[in-house]
């Protein structure tokens, strides 16, 4: 099932996805494709945070600190 989801998500055929020699990096917040890296033990998808989502989350944290009077 995971293979089917990845094939549909990245527009690859099942054969192409099985032959991918990299790990696909995807933003865990917005699901944006962020690039690829060499695999260590497996092939597939890993997650990170894109710069746009990071900026949004940092702003939220700063706003919360300001509301609590800690800034």
Determine the pLDDT at residue 58.
94
Determine the pLDDT at residue 50.
94
Determine the pLDDT at residue 10.
62
Q: What is the 3 state secondary structure string of the chain?
A: CHHHHHHHHHCCCHHHHHHCCCEEEEECCCCCEEEEECCCCCCEEEEECCHHHHHHHHHHHHHHHHHCCCC
pTM above threshold 0.85: no
Determine the pLDDT at residue 24.
85
Q: What are the mean pLDDT values of the chain's consecutive 10-residue runs (71 residues total)?
A: 57 56 87 84 84 95 82 51
């Amino acid at each position: 099932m995971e293979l089917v989801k990845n094939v549909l998500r990245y527009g690859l055929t099942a054969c192409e996805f099985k032959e991918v020699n990299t790990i696909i990096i995807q933003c865990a917040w917005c699901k944006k494709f962020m690039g690829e890296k060499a695999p260590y033990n497996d092939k597939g998808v890993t997650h990170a945070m894109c710069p746009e989502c990071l900026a949004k989350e940092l702003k939220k944290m700063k706003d919360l600190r300001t509301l609590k009077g800690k800034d």
